[in-house]
Chains A and B, each alone.
Chain A
């Protein structure tokens, strides 16, 4: 199936045209996207470091995750919305951009990594809530998450250079 006609149709809508041509809409979306990224990675990194055994502002891992996760989610949704709007404006070229495609791939891997953690080590968090270092499964999840999300940020910046 060829996705280009669909992307072209999206790109021709008035919203997409406005974002592409207004001059200030695109940089403003980018700015909000970066603020969102800063909160997503900033909060996730604190949790990931805790999973690796670096204590955060509280000792218990569960309460820390509960502290930060709402901020992570709100910021992530903000990134998805601003990202989709930017994608609408130039979808036909983004799908041919290698950095963009790899970024989407890494996002999926980061999601899978998070799901594995939540279905695995997180279910037994009561057993290791205040234990240092955390169990191996949690450490692996934290390490992978730090790397995967850093990769997402890198590839996002590289989109503009390919």
Chain B
């Protein structure tokens, strides 16, 4: 089955038709998507800046990361769900859009990086744990902030590109 057939099948499904027919659904789902972006990016910014060593340096790194990681993970789940609703509603606009696929690759990269940087800190602390991040970790924290910005930019550009 080719991709255009899958897209046509999703588009014609009762769920897809219903989402498009009830006019308030798409703007409401998009608004929830943006609120979730603020939670994810706000938490990412705070904990990545702490990792980079430029924010709240007097607070233990482990505590800051542990405080914000669950919010990032839960916001990501909301973003995937609301994103899925938008895909189901307009698969003909989204699934053939190259900016959308670039965004998906970047989301996987950014969250993978987030998880790799935080994983050692989410485990119970060892006795000889250093509190300050190493130089490469600091650089990756900055990269992570940059990646999330590009993800947001891509998200907005899906509406303008094909």
Contact = CB atoms under 8 A, between A and B. Distances in A.
Say whether A and B bind each other: yes
Interface in A26-61: 27-28, 30-31, 34-35, 37-43, 45-46, 55-58
A39 B67 CA distance: 17
Interface stretch (A10-18, A109-117, A132-140, A153-161): A153-161
B156 interface: yes
A67 B35 CA distance: 22
Contact of A41 (B23, B38, B56, B153): B38
A150 B39 CA distance: 11
B156 A30 contact: yes
A42 B45 contact: yes
A38 B56 contact: no
B59 A57 contact: yes
A71 interface: yes
A156 B31 CA distance: 8
Contacts, number: 87
Contact of A42 (B23, B28, B43): B43
Interface residues of A, number: 31
A57 B38 contact: no
Contacts of B55: 67
Nearest to A67: B56
Contact of B152 (A31, A57, A154): A31
Contacts of A37: 34, 38
Contacts of B31: 153-154, 157-158
Given A154-B31, A157-B31, A57 B50 contact: yes
Nearest to A59: B59
Contacts of B50: 57
B93 to A, nearest CB: 15
Interface centre among A30, A39, A57 (most CB of B within 10 A): A57
B157 interface: yes
Given A46-B46, A58-B59, A158-B31, A35 B38 contact: no
25 contacts: A27-B156, A27-B159, A31-B152, A31-B153, A38-B37, A38-B38, A38-B42, A41-B38, A42-B38, A42-B39, A42-B46, A43-B42, A45-B38, A46-B42, A55-B67, A56-B67, A57-B59, A57-B68, A68-B46, A71-B45, A153-B31, A153-B35, A154-B35, A157-B27, A161-B23
Given A38-B41, A43-B46, A150-B35, 7 more contacts: A28-B153, A31-B157, A35-B41, A37-B34, A38-B42, A157-B30, A161-B27
Interface of B: 23, 26-28, 30-31, 34-35, 37-43, 45-46, 50, 55-56, 59, 63-64, 67-68, 149, 152-153, 155-157, 159-160
